[in-house]
Amino acid sequence: MSVRFLANAGRIIMSKAGFDASPNMPDEQKIFDSNWMASGLVIASGSLTVPGAGGNAPYGEHPVPFPYSLHYAPSALVITTGEFPGGAVDGRTDNNYLYINRQRNSFSVVYIVFAVGM
């Protein structure tokens, strides 16, 4: 399994499926690199794992709070990892939260929130 998310001091990289994220990988193998000029300021980043509960866990939105309240709804990139790697996940934002839409009984994602309005 590929390591698709790299977060070091001052840099975040997300790779395409099948490639390990590293600082020296070619741009063609990346989904996101915080060094790209058009990426904007990163407000928050991280990962979220929601374990299943024997098939009875509720589906729906899981809120991830921002470190501070904003005066706009920022844009976000959410990518699945773990059992179902590489898929895009529905994620909406308001000025306080990123809401990640649960599509399966359990899931893991990495996310990046940008200081750019949707």
pLDDT tops 80 at residue 68 = yes
Q: What is the tens place of the pLDDT at every residue in 92-115?
A: 888 899 888 766 667 778 888 877
Q: What is the mean pLDDT of the chain?
A: 77
- What mean pLDDT do residues 39-47 have? 78
pLDDT tops 60 at residue 117 = no
pLDDT tops 70 at residue 83 = no
Residue 10, pLDDT score: 80
| Nearest by Cα to 110 from 92, 118, 88 | 88
- Topology of the domain comprising 5-117: Immunoglobulin-like (2.60.40)
- What mean pLDDT do residues 62-82 have? 83
Other residues' Cβ atoms within 10 Å of the Cβ of residue 24: 4
101 contacts 73 by C-beta, under 8 angstroms = no
Higher pLDDT among residues 71 and 82, named by residue = 71
Complete edge-to-edge strand list for the sheet that includes strand 74-81:
42-50, 107-117, 74-81
User: Comparing 31-35, 58-62, 92-96, which segment has the lowest mean pLDDT?
Assistant: 58-62
